[in-house]
Chains A and B, each alone.
Chain A
Amino acid sequence: MKQWKEIARGFGLNIPDLEHIVPPLDGLEAAFRPLVKTIPHDAEPAVTFHAALEVSEELR
């Protein structure tokens, strides 16, 4: 598991009730981290940039 208190210190985050948010962060980390290992090298993200502002994602 990640050391959230160390991360908070490193990021300069002033979060008073850190203990309260560590369990949900641990839960998300446990669910998410194994998924990262399944991503093929050439997989593109879903968020894309459109060079022309008027171009929409759904062109049909």
Chain B
Amino acid sequence: MTIQEAAIALRTRKVSSVELTKEALHRVQSLGSLNAVITVMDDSALEAAAQADRELAADLDFGLLHGIPIAVKDVFETKGVRTTCGSKLFEDFVPDRDAAVVEKLDAAGAVVIAKANMHELAYGVTSANPHFGAVRNPWNPERIPGGSSGGSGAAVAGDMVFMAMGSDTGGSIRIPAAFCGTVGLKPTFGRVSRYGVMPLDFSLDHMGPLTRSVRDAAIALEAIAGHDPRDETSALRSVPDYLPPREVSIRDLRIGWPENFFFDRVDPAVMTGLERMAEAATQLGARITPVTVPDIAAMNAVARMILMSEASALMEQFLDRRNHFGADVLALLDQGRFLAATDYVNAQRLRRMMQRAFSAVWETVDCVLTPTAPMGAPAIGQATVRIDGQDEDVRLASTRFVRAINLLGLPALSMPCGLDVEGMPLGAQIIGKPFDEATILRVGAALEDATDFHTLKPDL
């Protein structure tokens, strides 16, 4: 069931929010071995669900999220509920405020049932959290769910919640979406407030939803987007209607098909999935347009320079407590301490240049279709993956097609595009112009309607 379907069921009294919430809490408990959540909020969730039922019965309708059980990554501050950021440093931290996103979801009547597990400090792609347990992929518990929003991906793929909020600094929404077979949306930088979200990187962090359908992602974005004066980078632009209509058209839309970088060294099943997406788009009247993109590998290097500098600066005050960190996160934080201030400033200068260079892409296409990751989810503990005869570090391979999009601040959607030979989900990425989430959601919804990739579910 999607949010759209549940919203209809709630309004026709076929189900209540309390029933949906009890079922969600039951799923969280029965699938506890997946380690998808850190904190379950049973009491407050059931209270909120009962209130939603009373409001809907009184025709007080706050929108399609009203009464819908959701989760938020444990990076979002929740008033009175501990917020760990997946870190031993914050294992007892209980905020006295809600993140702006949590405020907005509450105002939309959503029912937060849990804080989702994640990669420690949101700094990694495996979600093998040393403090709260490794998150396991619902498609195969021996595989990673991706990260850093791995618990959010597992909770949505495991049908525990209809939507889970994630954060994305170098792919952390889109990678778990791809590895878990869900939809994941990273909005434009500035579209969704960062206020009250424990930061990893001030200039690369983005907040967005993981959902069971593209239209559900649109519903969630509409609820969480908008200006927030408490976040200096928050955009003043108004929030448009994002929800694509039932008979959505993409006729004559120009969908960019990269001629360079994005199809180098990918699993053949990824290529097949993307080709099927392109065929579906063509049949719907869109124009698949070959496009050459600027040097994405260089952008990845610049993004890593910025991330490592900012993350290490942020965490420097805690680095004397070395036993509070997992080995992989500590290694990254240590690396950042070696980087020169001049290199950080030059990385931000290169970022501006690369932003201008990439803007030329939008003169010929309306969006760009790429793989999200070059492969399906690796095994827990696996250090390298072999793609096209070449071994590659799991983190670098997983972020190869997504990290640069954070540098550019562009909106990007990941959606299912099939399974690999081992039955693990694969993801397609649709990248849009700044603040043009509406187009990528429109394309995603049209492709979802025209294919059956989203109907594939894990056997749980």
Mark out the residues of chain B between 290 and 309 whose CB falls within 8 Å of any chain A CB in the assembled complex.
297-298, 300-302, 304-305, 308
Residues on the B chain within 8 Å of A31, using CB: 297-298, 300-301
Interface residue SS majority, chain A: loop
Could you say which of A39, A54, A56 contacts B353, with CB atoms under 8 Å apart? A39
Question: Given A35-B350, A43-B349, A46-B352, does the pair A60, B338 have CB atoms closer than 8 Å?
Answer: no
B331 near A21 (CB under 8 angstroms)? yes
How many A residues are at the interface, by size bracket? 20 to 34
Interface residue SS majority, chain B: helix
- Please report the C-alpha to C-alpha distance between residue A20 and residue B329 in the assembled complex, in whole angstroms: 13
Residues on the A chain within 8 Å of B352, using CB: 43-46
B233 near A4 (CB under 8 angstroms)? no
Q: What mask results when residues 15 to 35 of chain A are scored 1 for a CB within 8 Å of chain B, else 0?
A: 101001100110010011001
Could you say which of B232, B298, B304, B334 contacts A56, with CB atoms under 8 Å apart? B232
How many B residues are at the interface, by size bracket? 35 or more
Question: Given A21-B331, A45-B345, A56-B190, does the pair A35, B232 have CB atoms closer than 8 Å?
Answer: no
A32 near B349 (CB under 8 angstroms)? no
Residues on the B chain within 8 Å of A47, using CB: 203, 348
Check if B29 is an interface residue, CB within 8 A of chain A: no
- Please report the C-alpha to C-alpha distance between residue A36 and residue B353 in the assembled complex, in whole angstroms: 11
- Please report the C-alpha to C-alpha distance between residue A10 and residue B192 in the assembled complex, in whole angstroms: 41
Q: What mask results when residues 35 to 58 of chain A are scored 1 for a CB within 8 Å of chain B, else 0?
A: 110111001111100100111111
Check if A1 is an interface residue, CB within 8 A of chain B: no
A53 near B235 (CB under 8 angstroms)? no
Check if B337 is an interface residue, CB within 8 A of chain A: yes
**Distance (Å) between the CB of B352 and the closest chain A CB?**
5
**Distance (Å) between the CB of A39 and the closest chain B CB?**
5
Could you say which of A7, A15, A56 contacts B236, with CB atoms under 8 Å apart? A56
Residues on B lying within 8 angstroms of A by beta carbon are: 190, 203, 227, 229, 232-237, 297-298, 300-302, 304-305, 308, 331, 334-335, 337-338, 343, 345-353, 355, 435
Residues on A lying within 8 angstroms of B by beta carbon are: 2, 4, 7-8, 11, 13, 15, 17, 20-21, 24-25, 28, 31-32, 35-36, 38-40, 43-47, 50, 53-60
